Amino acid sequence: MSDVPFGFGLPDRDPERRGEPGAGGNDPFGFGALFGGGAGAGGTPEELLGKMPLFAELQRLMSWSGGPVNWDLARQGAISQLAPGHQPTSAGERSAVAEALRLADLWLDQVTELPSGVDRALAWSRVEWVEQTLPAWTALIDPLAERVVAAMTGALPQEAAAIAGPLGGLMSQMGGVMFGAQVGQALAKLADEVVTSTDVGLPLGPTGAGVLVPQNVAAFGAGLDRPDDEVRLFIALREAAHQRLFAHVPWLRQQLTDAVHAYARGIHVDREAIERGLNEAMGGGLGGGFDPSDPESIQRLLGSGVLEPEETPEQQMALRRLETLLALVEGWVDSVVAAAAADRLPGYPALAETMRRRRASGGPAEQTFATLVGLELRPRRLRDASTVWGAMAQQHGSAERDRLWSHPDLLPTSDDLDEPLDFVARQGAADPFAELTGGDGDAPADDQRPADGEEGPTRG
């Protein structure tokens, strides 16, 4: 993993970097700034709130009672970071997006059996992307944050719990602020890059809405020497293809969400590690000792890695399932867009290569899940998934390719993606529905196993 969920890692110890933009990557919550910085900024939270103007706003934020993540702070933080470069969408951009999505659906009709999933076209600014996708992020992230808080609280030794008890409400509010600050940073970074509402591999926009972010579409095409309408149409094809899957594969959205939440259910914290860390903190090993009344002391404890969740085998299986599903979605989109555009868009090879390079260097989906879940999407999985879908269309036709989406048990598993052409070859050897309907089909034995560590028959 490239990161740990919600940034429970070592803080940046270099004082010269604490004020730099981007330094929050190792100190994602910025509590040093919130609580006055240096070691001399002691006192109770109430005293600090009364002494410094900044804390009037902080006091309001800490009155949040809407869940484990302070979404007011997340929204405000993201929008404030986006404000300097904010560009509202124009009437011309909205018209161009609608035309691109209309044409994209016409092209896709010729290469896939799945009908259009777009009933309206929208052009969003970066700020609108943040505001309009917040409901989806709330449903996705709240269970993760709630489980992290519960795991840390349940793992505290009795002595530490007794000390923290009187401050339990304050620490819960601080947790909401911390999570809100980090989520806001992540959303702002994503909003600078995403080109559609499905760019992270999940449907984040309203049902039936095809969405492009014109400012980021223009940035995507910069330096490619391709006409703007060609770049826009390529991105529209990808958005329209994603929308077809999410509109007409009714179980897909829920399975992706369930995989994230299955990870959350497995979060736990090593109690013995916390006891060792608290003993060190009490003895001054964390740079001055642990004082529950001192917010900077609490920050040092949270940043020390003591409360870092430990990944379990169950979580690894959930991540593997999520990785496989996201790769299959992206691979299918690659395949149908290539079929629709390769002979029509002169710049398709350059546009497709730019998309591949974007993924290889860590695109929005990778960054999102590395930050929030701890998952790295390996480009190898995406290539193998694209191979499956392309070979299925070539050997068995687009109808048979798309029929694999009719039930989760028919999709290739992570193990199948290790040998994608073998999976495709097996599809012509037996009735793929025989196993599901109790027929006499000759399905290979490994098709009968639960996939990617799931309990029960559902395969990922």
Q: Which of 104-118, 158-172, 335-349 has the lowest mean pLDDT?
A: 158-172
The answer to whether 105 and 173 are in contact (CB under 8 A) is no
- 386 pLDDT more than 50: yes
Per cent of the chain over pLDDT 90 is: 44
The confidence score (pLDDT) of residue 361 equals: 77
Angstrom distance (rounded) from CA 459 to CA 252: 12
Residues 67-93 have a mean pLDDT of 92
Q: Which of 34-43, 90-99, 365-374 has the lowest mean pLDDT?
A: 34-43
- 315 pLDDT more than 50: yes
Of the candidates 375, 24, 329, which has an alpha carbon nearest to the alpha carbon of residue 189?
A: 24
**How do residues 182-204 score in pLDDT, each as one tens digit?**
889 889 989 999 999 999 888 99
The confidence score (pLDDT) of residue 181 equals: 85
Partners of 209 in beta bridges: 120
Angstrom distance (rounded) from CA 74 to CA 138: 10
Q: Which of 16-20, 125-129, 184-188, 211-215 has the lowest mean pLDDT?
A: 16-20
The confidence score (pLDDT) of residue 440 equals: 47
Per cent of the chain over pLDDT 70 is: 60
The confidence score (pLDDT) of residue 451 equals: 42
Question: Using the 8-state DSSP alphabet, how is residue 444 labeled?
Answer: -
Residues 320-335 have a mean pLDDT of 93
The confidence score (pLDDT) of residue 381 equals: 86
- To 10 degrees, what angle do helices 214-221 and 228-248 make? 120
Angstrom distance (rounded) from CA 105 to CA 341: 12
Report residue 301 as tokens.
Answer: 């404890």
Q: Give the CA angle between residues 101, 106, 112 to the nearest 5°.
A: 110
* Domain locations along the chain: 1-325
The answer to whether 120 and 253 are in contact (CB under 8 A) is no
Residues 97-124 have a mean pLDDT of 97
The confidence score (pLDDT) of residue 445 equals: 40
Residues 148-161 have a mean pLDDT of 63
**How do residues 246-289 score in pLDDT, each as one tens digit?**
999 999 999 998 888 887 777 766 666 655 655 665 555 545 55
Count of beta carbons in the 10 Å neighbourhood of residue 166: 10
**How do residues 396-419 score in pLDDT, each as one tens digit?**
999 999 999 999 999 999 999 999
**How do residues 22-47 score in pLDDT, each as one tens digit?**
444 433 333 333 333 333 344 554 45
- 155 pLDDT more than 90: no
Q: How confident is the model at residue 165 (pLDDT cuts 50, 70, 90)?
A: low
Question: Using the 8-state DSSP alphabet, how is residue 89 labeled?
Answer: P
Name the average pLDDT for the chain.
76
- 141 pLDDT more than 50: yes
Give the residue with greater pLDDT, 164 vs 380.
380
Q: How confident is the model at residue 64 (pLDDT cuts 50, 70, 90)?
A: low
The answer to whether 181 and 28 are in contact (CB under 8 A) is yes
Q: How confident is the model at residue 59 (pLDDT cuts 50, 70, 90)?
A: low
The confidence score (pLDDT) of residue 47 equals: 52
Of the candidates 151, 148, 113, 253, which has an alpha carbon nearest to the alpha carbon of residue 197?
A: 253
Q: Give the CA angle between residues 91, 240, 397 to the nearest 5°.
A: 155
Around 47, how many Cα atoms within 13 Å sit in the side-chain half-sphere? 8
284 sits in the region (left: phi over 0; alpha: psi -120 to 50; else beta) called left
- 441 pLDDT more than 60: no
The confidence score (pLDDT) of residue 10 equals: 33
- 457 pLDDT more than 60: no
The confidence score (pLDDT) of residue 18 equals: 39
- 2 pLDDT more than 60: no
Nearest-Å Rg of the Cα atoms of the chain is 24
Partners of 211 in beta bridges: 122
The confidence score (pLDDT) of residue 152 equals: 63
